[in-house]
Amino acid sequence: MKIRTGFVPNSSSSSFVLFYSPATLEEIDQKNIGIKGVWLSEGRDYFTPDNEIKEYIKSHPEILEGDEIGLVHDYYHCDKTDFEININEFINNFPNNGDNMYVDVFDLDQHWTQDLDEFMENYIEKKEY
């Protein structure tokens, strides 16, 4: 049995707001990296990759060439129903490096990718690289 921690909504999906800028493979080990993935059964896959997933991506960089996976600098995210920004936290998390800021609102699937096994199932086994 898997126990999900962190953001767990009551329904199978929930509206989600993400403030981000695109990231590169060279930045994958930074602390605020997230992965915007594909639409799963009830919403989009969005998760923070663990070290195993990061190592897999580094050893298979071709996986980033398609539209299924995008690395992002996650500056702030929240459930749309709780959409209240702590502006000081937001400003402190946004680096002054010239990056453009993007905002994306999407349905977040409750069953987002949690580990390398799920990553392989959701992205690798469905597609040959």
Q: Can you give the pLDDT of all 129 residues of the chain as single tens digits?
A: 344 444 444 444 568 888 888 999 999 999 889 999 988 888 899 999 999 999 999 999 999 998 889 999 887 777 665 556 666 776 676 666 667 788 888 888 888 899 999 999 999 886 654
* Domain, as residue range, for 111: 13-124
What's the number of domains the chain is made of? 1
Does 107 reside within a domain? yes
pTM: 0.76
Task: Please name which of 52, 106, 100, 51 lies closest in space to residue 72, comparing C-alpha atoms.
Answer: 100
Judge contact between 42 and 110, C-beta under 8 A. yes
Does 129 reside within a domain? no
Does 61 reside within a domain? yes
Does 97 reside within a domain? yes
Please report the pLDDT score of residue 13 as a whole number: 54
Does 77 reside within a domain? yes
